Amino acid sequence: MSELILHHLLRHAERIPDRVAYTAPRDGRRISVTWAEHVAAIRQTARAFVALGLQPGETVGILGVTRPEWTMGCLAAQLAGGLPSGIYQTCSAEQIAYIAAHARNRLMVIENEEQWRKVDAVRDRLTELRRVIIMKSSETPDDELALSWNDFLELGGDENNPRESEVQSRLDALDPEDLGTLIYTSGTTGHPKAVMLTHANLAETGRICVELLKFTYDDSLVSYLPLAHVAEQNVSIHLPARVGLTVHYAEAPELLLQTLQEVEPTFFFGVPRVWERFHAALTGRLATAPGRQRALVDWAMGAVRDLHVEIDAGRRPRLGLRLRHTIADRLLAKIRKKIGFGRIRLATSGAAPIARDVLDFFAGLGTPIYEVWGLSETTGPATWNSPGRAKQGTVGPAIPDVEVELAEDGELLVRGPNVFAGYYRDEAGTSEVLRDDGFFHTGDLGSIDEDGFVTITGRKKEILITSGGKNIAPAPIERRLKRIELVGDAMVVGDDRRFLGALLSLEEEAAARFANRHGLEPADLHHDPTVLAKLEKEIDSVNQQLARVESIRAFRVLPRRLSQQEGELTPTLKVKRGVVMERFRDLVEEMYS
């Protein structure tokens, strides 16, 4: 058993005290904080939790956007023997009430006055809640329940505070099998479940990732996704705490490109929707380039892509290919530099399937994307493509020390040190998915090839059964539909229907270019005959690649993109099928009328 993440964290203050732990936007500039300063602040935060009466095993709810205080609250709660439980900043007051009550939060750390209003609206139902700490001290309400971040930190004092010895004794008492964090699944249906991850889960997953992907303290990354999600917690909290690499916090997700250009990280994790946006913007710009320039870029991308195919297959590229790559890569370096990818050594995608053409594009750009697959219940990664061992279209082989098997019905099963301890306060739910032999039933359907590479084909619960009794996984069809240039979102429908249909939205930049070429009004594109005819032609091409029963025989275009704010996407931007189906039921019924 390796040491706890917390042990690695505290040693950074001695081993690399002057290296930058993180940078963050503040008052119009980016400030830098060293590991010595960061660890001291986390210790102070832990002492403050003890001062507020937090006992070992009690939970601390953390609600807010991705920022340093979120990370400090998480690690300090663990250091004080507590259990952090993240809440997505997009949650409604009702959702917050459910999670905070279910987790039995004694304390909550929330971002600002907006989140306070949500908590205040349901405070009568949070019977175990004692104090609410506001990250932005300037937005602390005059209420006995509320405490500003600055006043909270003052409770922790300096390193001579007598509570420091209490924090140390609690750390010494921690067992690897003690719970380290609660991850509330974002879920596409029903109440979220609380995944119990132990300190051993976090430590072993961190060890495996460092050994597999060779992370060092010279690496850096951008933190911008919700920290309540297991992937971003691993990437932005636990991995840096273990290795000592630098985290650059983005001011907001919509300013991601600006942050990338400013800090130029060496590692970048993106969900498919983020990669798709980059892809759409770059291909749109390249499409307007002069013919000779575009031909040169196409040649360069082909040479670079060919080299990465050889490397990822474990082969040594031929001399001629290496020479072409040297010339081609210099041409493409300027494009990478413009999007902040000038120093990227590892780019990865997870949380949902990503389209093949997006993978091809970035491999050609010199930034191959390595897909990872896992769930909250597997502490994030279970399989991962990596440089020198990757197959496009798969999510890679099992990571070291982890087993992945197929059940008779094609469900993927996982066993290893990354598998969770169960669902918090839900023994029945735990027994449904955790077998006595240690294998976790993931609910994902897939296949495993002769080399151990895993391909995901869909979710068991998302299988559509037509009125003719055919079982169809919608995800592979949706991936093909999203390759259509004009398509932003795609959701296949057809459960208990005689054929499949699709709800589509338009990709904004591609739609604007199409409108400009054809002299169309941008506001009415979702029902413009020219757009619909173009989509129908493209869908016909997709259908030729599908079995007849999988063909899309009707479609409707939504008036806007699906959004997280409207509750149609999870925080990791997966479609909430039930919400979308209910909200656009009239369009669906129209398809089948």
| Bridge partners, residue 239, by sequence | none
- Dihedral class, residue 190 (left if φ above 0, else alpha if ψ from -120 to 50, else beta): left
Element (H, E) at 453: none
| pLDDT, tens digit, 9 for 90 and up, residues 167-177 | 999 999 999 99
Q: Are 136 and 253 in a shared domain?
A: yes
| pLDDT, tens digit, 9 for 90 and up, residues 450-487 | 999 999 887 777 777 776 666 677 888 888 898 898 99
Whether 333 has a pLDDT exceeding 60, the answer reads yes
Residue 127's CATH number? 3.40.50.980
Whether 206 has a pLDDT exceeding 90, the answer reads yes
| Total tally of structural domains belonging to the chain | 4
Greater confidence, 521 or 58? 58
Q: Are 517 and 562 in a shared domain?
A: yes
Report in angstroms the alpha-carbon separations of 336 from 221, 301, 328.
16, 12, 13
Of 212, 241, 263, which residue constitutes the final position of a domain?
Answer: 263
pLDDT confidence band for 2 (50 / 70 / 90):
low
| pLDDT, tens digit, 9 for 90 and up, residues 264-301 | 999 999 988 889 889 988 888 888 888 888 889 889 99
Q: Are 165 and 240 in a shared domain?
A: yes
Of 229, 263, 297, which residue constitutes the final position of a domain?
Answer: 263
In the chain the first and final C-alpha atoms are separated, in Å, by 61
Nearest Cα residue to 79 out of 48, 52, 100, 102: 48
| pLDDT, tens digit, 9 for 90 and up, residues 210-249 | 999 999 999 999 999 999 999 999 999 999 999 999 999 9
Percent of the chain scoring above 90 in pLDDT: 62
Q: Which of 380-394, 400-414, 442-456, 457-471 has the lowest mean pLDDT?
A: 457-471
pLDDT at 77: 98
Joined tokens for residue 504:
């589509």
Whether 35 has a pLDDT exceeding 80, the answer reads yes
Report in angstroms the alpha-carbon separations of 91 from 87, 100, 285, 385.
7, 11, 36, 33
pLDDT at 436: 87
pLDDT confidence band for 1 (50 / 70 / 90):
very low
What is the pLDDT averaged over residues 97-104?
95
Residue 445's CATH number? 2.30.38.10
Q: Are 255 and 191 in a shared domain?
A: yes
Q: Are 143 and 224 in a shared domain?
A: yes
- Cβ atoms 25, 49 nearer than 8 A: no
pLDDT at 569: 84
pLDDT at 66: 94
| pLDDT, tens digit, 9 for 90 and up, residues 533-564 | 999 999 999 988 887 788 899 999 998 999 88
Q: Are 251 and 174 in a shared domain?
A: yes
What is the pLDDT averaged over residues 436-447?
91
pLDDT at 356: 86
Which one of 6-15, 131-140, 314-323 scores highest in mean pLDDT?
6-15
Task: Classify strands 346-349 and 369-375 as parallel, antiparallel or unpaired.
Answer: parallel
Q: What is the C-alpha to C-alpha distance for residues 114 and 111, in angstroms, rounded to an integer?
A: 8
What is the pLDDT averaged over residues 7-27?
96
pLDDT at 473: 77
Q: Are 325 and 444 in a shared domain?
A: no
Q: What is the C-alpha to C-alpha distance for residues 467 and 357, in angstroms, rounded to an integer?
A: 33
Q: Are 245 and 153 in a shared domain?
A: yes
Q: Are 308 and 358 in a shared domain?
A: yes
pLDDT at 188: 46
- Cβ atoms 341, 367 nearer than 8 A: yes
- Cβ atoms 396, 373 nearer than 8 A: yes
Q: What is the C-alpha to C-alpha distance for residues 388 and 391, in angstroms, rounded to an integer?
A: 10
Q: Are 315 and 405 in a shared domain?
A: no
3-class SS letters over 153-216: HHHHCCCCCCHHHHHHHHHHHCCCCCEEEEEECCCCCCCCCEEEEEHHHHHHHHHHHHHHHCCC
pLDDT at 50: 97
pLDDT confidence band for 498 (50 / 70 / 90):
confident
pLDDT at 190: 59
Residue 508's CATH number? 3.30.300.30
What is the pLDDT averaged over residues 4-24?
97
Of 437, 457, 477, which residue constitutes the final position of a domain?
Answer: 457
Q: Are 276 and 324 in a shared domain?
A: yes
pLDDT confidence band for 65 (50 / 70 / 90):
very high
Q: Are 359 and 423 in a shared domain?
A: no
For residue 416, the enclosing domain spans: 371-457
Mean pLDDT of the chain: 91
